[in-house]
Structure 1
């Protein structure tokens, strides 16, 4: 673990931020523990703080919030820093307003590099300390540092991660029907056609509904196809607007995805016709696989938690279990691994030693292993032991992220300006699935790209 140079490294700022979010989820008041019961060897470099408090907010809710709080329990005991976490579904919409008013939490777990850039532009974000940057350099692929660096200054380390390009399926169905895992996009198309012709059900089940964010699951499809059809350089040009959103290469990706999402023969298995994709919640859309009513569902590694919506464990995620996933394949079977994904970045709004101590811990291999061991998530931290993950698929996901041969690109809509990535792109997907033609949708999105 990177040594934490505690004293004299940061200027303390008096007063904790007041959190004004409409909050749900759980608080971070750890159960009182006897320090003698905790091995503090992994935490001694962070120093000790008498009565210090750090507030954290983010979009992480429910069980995942409980696990997040548990992941720093020993750190609190050993350092004396009391951490309070509060989650809100409105975090992304409100954090800039709170920061502008001086009411932001000490740390905000920001899930979008585009939002991080907005917070930096407002002058509210605190640059990452040397120990945090040192951990980034040691434990992450350099591409992750780029996502939290603005004008040469790094503002946060990555936290957790996800891989966006999984196709979920039933191993039992595949074995009984003799289906093979496709190794190219053409093979995936052939498999889909075979399932449509032979199974008695439509092969794909899709849900695009997500409240005000309805449409985002469709953007994941487009991003996966942009990366696979055109490669990382064109992908980067697209998300930075070096090529326009209505470029023919973007249209090619939309039309390739449209072979599934706009095709009555392909969707919406177990749910209804093409139009039901817009009203079906993304959380429930894959569940028809369990009833044999569809065969394939495109969703990220984090979807693992949705296979048991009642909190049980009757549906196992394994290559010989109830469900499993394969990565959306490349154009050419000999191509290297290229994946899209997401993650979060703990951004600081208060310049204080205890805040940076917490951020240094969250950027360490110690924290990453603690959190991954609690289940349900992965990290791109290279210090994570993949075997700590809670399922075969998550072990595989960590190995993919740690593989130096993997080409990783962050979720494109999260990198784009909010007016596009969190608005017109989502809305465009809904209009497009609803029947609007590709060129009209792309022209509409392109017109929303900020001029500066």
Structure 2
């Protein structure tokens, strides 16, 4: 699941777009009033926001998001260039109950101008209210140029783009101790077979530790790390087309290919020889929090922990997160080294007021200018974008830099967190609870059958 949707997770570019705006374009903006519905045809080039000060000066754009203190500070700082160039004031509102309250605000008529939506499923809900504005031509062109077809799909409903990507995170990571690997002579695996061979070797070499540690605990969202495991493995074993069909329920949740994938997850997480380093037996995974899950790596009680890029913020102060540091992360290998499936998540910029200042701000957020400004403003690390022109050198954290390179890799096949795209009764319901039951001892078939039975009829 995407961190911002369940536990706030943790998505590229240089140059300032500042070309003269023609008189016709300057007068071509949409109405400054009105909220929701389909925007009229608008040919204004909003990528030239820096030349629109005479039109935008004194206006206000409101943002509503699940990104709260302390992560909100870099966001606010990253808008300075836009505010200075346009004279627009950005009003920021963060809310931990964003996912629950945004649809309610649509019902009450109290929508923001812009919302950072962390789930394609929630975007669909907001479009269904009739209040979301389709993306401008400028934003559409920017998404095609800077993000590509996969990301465009996640911000679209019925093939119409509503929201450009904002931040992103890479989930296909395995955290480990470079020092321990060097000490033992272990090499980072590049295929799934090598990963399993390494797992077996560690279990033999070091009976006092375990190859893996894991934690599914997350309060009312307990179980989501298990969904990520299954999604990551299914993407590798069955491929992107089957993954897409499964997420859309065009094949059943308990399809044989999903059964196979869960079996491969079980070969790690349900083997007592391999887990749960530092915590106990297999069942301890259910009660170990995801924040604590990887910590035994620092005490040499386990060697590997599969978790997303945002896990970097969970290491204790003073921990060096680097290739030569206390902990680092390698790419979760595919079946073979020739393919590079990447599971991840992110947020999308939905708009709810048809006005030039809102469209200009949305264009700014989809641009290389903002992605690089946000990278520079995030001095503590923990943020990345899928924008292809983000300069990794502007990212502070080495893991963020590595994530940006993975997202920009032409060989990467990115797929959004599946549970975030499923109906909430499944993705944020039975998928969580049944994976928790599974790691407590429930068999594979019962687990997948129960989730399949819970899928809404319509």
* Structure 1 length-normalised TM: 0.89
Segment of structure 1 superposing worse, 407-416 or 46-55: 46-55
User: 2:333 matched to 1:357?
Assistant: no
Q: Compare relative contact order (CA 8 Å, sep 6+) and give the higher one, 1 or 2.
A: 2
**C-alpha offsets along residues 192-243 of structure 1, whole Å, 9 cap, x if unaligned?**
2222222211221211122222111111111111111011111111111111
Structure 1 residues 11 and 256, CA gap change in structure 2 (3 angstroms): same
- 1:108 is paired with a residue whose SS is strand
- In the alignment, the residues of structure 2 paired with residue 306 and residue 363 of structure 1 have an alpha-carbon distance, to the nearest angstrom, of 29
- 1:296 is paired with a residue whose SS is strand
> What is the aligned partner in structure 2 of residue 93 from structure 1?
100
Structure 1 residues 300 and 6, CA gap change in structure 2 (3 angstroms): farther
C-alpha deviation, 1:447, in angstroms: 1.3
C-alpha deviation, 1:180, in angstroms: 1.0
Q: Which ranges of structure 1 fall in alignment gaps of 5 or more residues?
A: 17-40
Structure 1 residues 427 and 7, CA gap change in structure 2 (3 angstroms): farther
Give every structure 1 segment of 4 or more consecutive aligned residues whose post-TM-superposition deviation is greater than 6 Å. Answer: none
1:380-395 alignment runs, 5 A limit? 380-395=386-401
- Counterpart among 408, 411, 415 of residue 409 in structure 1: 415
> What is the aligned partner in structure 1 of residue 33 from structure 2?
13
- Root-mean-square deviation (Å): 2.0
1:332-351 alignment runs, 5 A limit? 332-333=336-337, 335-351=338-354
- Counterpart among 64, 69, 72 of residue 65 in structure 1: 72
2:49–2:360 Cα contact (<8 Å) kept: no
1:165–1:339 Cα contact (<8 Å) kept: yes
- In the alignment, the residues of structure 2 paired with residue 345 and residue 218 of structure 1 have an alpha-carbon distance, to the nearest angstrom, of 24
2:34–2:353 Cα contact (<8 Å) kept: no
> What is the aligned partner in structure 1 of residue 239 from structure 2?
231
**C-alpha offsets along residues 141-197 of structure 1, whole Å, 9 cap, x if unaligned?**
211111111123210100011111100000000000111111111211121222222
C-alpha deviation, 1:102, in angstroms: 1.1
- In the alignment, the residues of structure 2 paired with residue 149 and residue 42 of structure 1 have an alpha-carbon distance, to the nearest angstrom, of 24
> What is the aligned partner in structure 2 of residue 22 from structure 1?
none
Count of aligned pairs: 423
1:167–1:298 Cα contact (<8 Å) kept: yes
> What is the aligned partner in structure 2 of residue 38 from structure 1?
none
C-alpha deviation, 1:249, in angstroms: 0.8
Structure 1 residues 272 and 123, CA gap change in structure 2 (3 angstroms): same
**C-alpha offsets along residues 218-271 of structure 1, whole Å, 9 cap, x if unaligned?**
111111111110111111111111110011111111111112222222222112
C-alpha deviation, 1:71, in angstroms: 1.0
- Counterpart among 143, 146, 151 of residue 153 in structure 2: 146
Q: Which ranges of structure 2 fall in alignment gaps of 5 or more residues?
A: 1-15, 37-46
- In the alignment, the residues of structure 2 paired with residue 267 and residue 82 of structure 1 have an alpha-carbon distance, to the nearest angstrom, of 52
Structure 1 residues 123 and 204, CA gap change in structure 2 (3 angstroms): same
2:35–2:131 Cα contact (<8 Å) kept: no
- In the alignment, the residues of structure 2 paired with residue 362 and residue 110 of structure 1 have an alpha-carbon distance, to the nearest angstrom, of 13
C-alpha deviation, 1:328, in angstroms: 0.9
